[in-house]
Amino acid sequence: MNSTVSPHSQYILASTLEHSIHASLENAFCVAAGGEILVNDGLILAIAGRVRYRNATSLSATLQALAMDYRQMGKLTLANLTGVFVLAILDPTQNYALLAIDKIGIEQVYYRSDNTGFSFCSRLAPLVQLSPENRQLDQQALYNYIYCHFVPSPRSIYCGIHKLPAGHVVEWQKGEMQISPYWLPKFSETPIDLAASGKEMLAIIRSAVETAVAEPTDQAVAAFLSGGLDSSTVAGMLAQSVEVAQTYSIGFDVPGYDEMAYARIARQHFHAKGYEHYVTPADITQWLPLVAMGADEPFGNSSLLPAFLCAQCAREQGFQVLLAGDGGDELFAGNERYAKQGIFEYFNQWPLWLQSLLFISTKPLAKMPVLRKAYSYVSQARTPLPDRMDTYVFLERHNPQTVFEDGFIESIDIHEPRTLKRRLFAALDNASKLNRMMYLDWHFTLHDNDLVKVNTACRLAGIEVIYPMLTDELVLLSTRIPSKDKLRGSNLRWFYKQASQGFLPRSILEKKKHGFGLPFGIWMQNHQPLQDLALDSLSRIKTRGFIRPQFIDELLRLHRDKHAAYYGELVWVLMMLDLWLEGQEKV
């Protein structure tokens, strides 16, 4: 049996069982949209995505080569797969199944196991529909969502259904299941030729963009453009690969949130065309329910809505593919927290007796406004990584006992999000703290957050997305750049910026790191429809049995009287949860 679907369709776009990757050993079948299925001497292999194995030039050849090597090497063959993929290997005679996802986890894949079978799907809804009677929310996942603003792997929002972490494989046999990483990066601190490596980096990105443009010969390709380093690089490479490059940018008419000026600088520099959309509060009230309910799971990253509006504009104007710049910050040390943690690490290089003395001597300063920062520095520095990176998290600054109902808080482990991060931080041998932080972000910031955001936005808009900054070649190159060259003091992405001299405009190379968040908390202060939407959702949250009603009232007061942006973010997270739950209740 050999079944082929158009190689340029994207399996994540599927919303029904017939157009999803799915397998069950009760009758051992697979359906792969955008991929291929191969039956080889009793083995069933299904793969979907933009993937290659060894020198294979097609999905069919990839499966043939993979089947041959798998019989000799088993799951060790997985490390040699490159690109974006979800892979399933079924052996009905042994009642065995293997499921794997690519190294960075560009997509998500969900799975369910019991004593009689193993089933999986690249979308959550079809898997839930297999056993609708088991549609029970995972209480721990609910807590993790409010802590992280998304549901981190390996849990899903439903009991009994899990998500496969990036670079991992799950093996199932006769009801027994084992999950393990099939690939871990090996970072090097050996000095390299920085100039040659910089040229190699740009060549890899250029090749990825050219491939994206060349492969779907019948599809028009455009690019997201925020004006940051990565999106500007990708847009610039696109401009060198097509006659006229089209870009799509989102802006906010709120001080401190808008960086449209940098998108315009990049467009002008590369002679690209651009479409700009300024998000308004009316956009939120119109599109938020659709976007919230359209996600596989509750998803609280407020950048999802702007990304959707950007993708929707591109689709309406006839484009079928968007290039996204996600990944550069996590590969080449571009997040401000990396530099901030380096400052705290200076403290930990001092003798323990001196650290203790400084802590004791600065503690009285905590109540003195002028000198409070000295105590704050020492107290944070004493917190080890990776816990220190979460000191800003709402549920670290507020006692969970005051947020959640007693019955709920007694049923969960409030430390699980930190435990997950500690495991990832400790997973690598002989890696610097900077590289450990970045590897942690490959899972939490990329796989479970930013990529879910862009994938969901593009799926809802009906457009494919490709990530030139996350090719295997670029990931491996990033592991060879010494930590001291990725981040020099407070100079984020030092190596990347040096390599991009002469290609990117100086103003973009020198701009400060800027987020892509939505000024929801600011807008909610004065926009009545947004207030009504939020109050409706929070009123329903009060009745759902896990958040204390009095905490909801306090949250609204804090948003009104204290810090609209900070507390508005939690309002958004709870709104997205409520709207998603509303959508599930209507199914």
For residues 73 and 114, membership in a common domain is answered with: yes
Q: Please tell me whether residues 174 and 229 are part of one structural domain.
A: no
Least confident of 71-80, 257-266, 350-359, 567-576: 350-359
Average pLDDT, integer, range 99-104: 96
Quick one: pLDDT at residue 453? 97
Residue 349, classed as helix, strand or coil, is coil
> If pLDDT is split at 50, 70 and 90, which confidence band does 345 have?
confident
**Does residue 409 fall inside a structural domain?**
no
My answer on whether 24 and 171 are in the same domain is yes
Domain contains 400: no
Q: Taking residues 344-368, report their average pLDDT.
A: 65
Percentage above 70 pLDDT, the chain = 87
Any domain includes 338:
no
Question: Residue 374: its pLDDT value, please?
Answer: 66
Mean pLDDT estimate for the chain: 88
- Asked whether residue 443 falls in the same domain as residue 504, the answer is yes
Domain containing 246 — which CATH number? 3.40.50.620
Tell me which of 461, 490, 510 is where a domain ends.
510
Give the containing element (helix H, strand E) for 465.
strand 464-466
What whole-number distance in Å separates Cα of residue 293 and Cα of residue 280? Answer: 20
d(CA 239, CA 245): 5
Q: Which residue has the tokens 């329903």?
A: 540
Q: State which of 450, 477, 510 marks the end of a domain.
A: 510
Pseudo-torsion of CA 232, 233, 236, 241, nearest 10°? -140
Model confidence pLDDT, tens digit, residues 417-473? 999 999 999 999 999 999 999 999 999 999 999 999 999 999 999 999 999 999 999
Which tops the pLDDT comparison, 53 or 309?
Answer: 309
Name the domain count of the chain: 3
Which of 143, 159, 181 corresponds to the end of one domain?
181
pLDDT > 90: percent of the chain: 68
Give the tens place of pLDDT for each residue, 12-64: 222 233 334 556 555 566 666 667 888 888 888 888 888 888 888 788 888 89
What is the reported pTM?
0.91
Both tokens of residue 278?
């300024």
Judge if 25 and 92 occupy the same domain.
Answer: yes
- Do 247 and 316 sit in the same domain of this protein? yes
Candidate from 176-185, 368-377, 540-549 with smallest mean pLDDT:
368-377
Question: What is the three-class DSSP state of 462?
Answer: coil
pLDDT at 389 over 60: yes
172 and 217 within one domain: no
How far is residue 377's CA from residue 330's CA, in Å, rounded to a whole number? Answer: 25
- Please say whether the beta carbons of 34 and 8 come within 8 A: yes
Three-state SS sequence of 324-348: CCCCHHHHHCCCHHHHHHHHHHHHC
- 526 and 502 belong to one structural domain: no
If asked whether residues 506 and 523 sit together in one domain, one would say: no
> Higher-confidence residue: 138 or 174?
138
Same domain, 15 and 155: yes
350 pLDDT band (50/70/90 cuts)?
Answer: low
Q: pLDDT class for 218, splitting at 50, 70, 90? A: low
Pairing of strands 246-252, 221-224: parallel
Domain annotation covers residue 18: yes
Say which CATH number the domain at 14 has: 3.60.20
* pLDDT at position 295: 97
- pLDDT of amino acid 348: 72
Residue 200 lies in a domain: yes
**Where is average pLDDT lowest: 103-112, 243-252, 347-356?**
347-356
In a domain, 447, yes or no: yes
Query: Which of 39-48, 391-400, 421-430, 554-563 has the weakest average pLDDT?
Result: 39-48
pLDDT number for residue 32:
64
Residue 369 lies in a domain: no
Considering the domain architecture, whether residues 8 and 110 belong to the same structural domain is answered as yes
Is 237's pLDDT higher than 60? yes
Q: What is the pLDDT of residue 366?
A: 58
Rounded to an integer, what distance in angstroms lies between the CA atom of residue 358 and that of residue 348?
12
Q: Is residue 413 part of a domain?
A: no
pLDDT at 14: 27
pLDDT for residue 15: 26
CA-based radius of gyration for the chain: 24
Same domain, 469 and 559: no
Q: What is the pLDDT of residue 18?
A: 34
Domain, as residue range, for 539: 519-587
Kindly report, residue by residue over 507-516, the tens digit of the pLDDT.
999 987 765 5
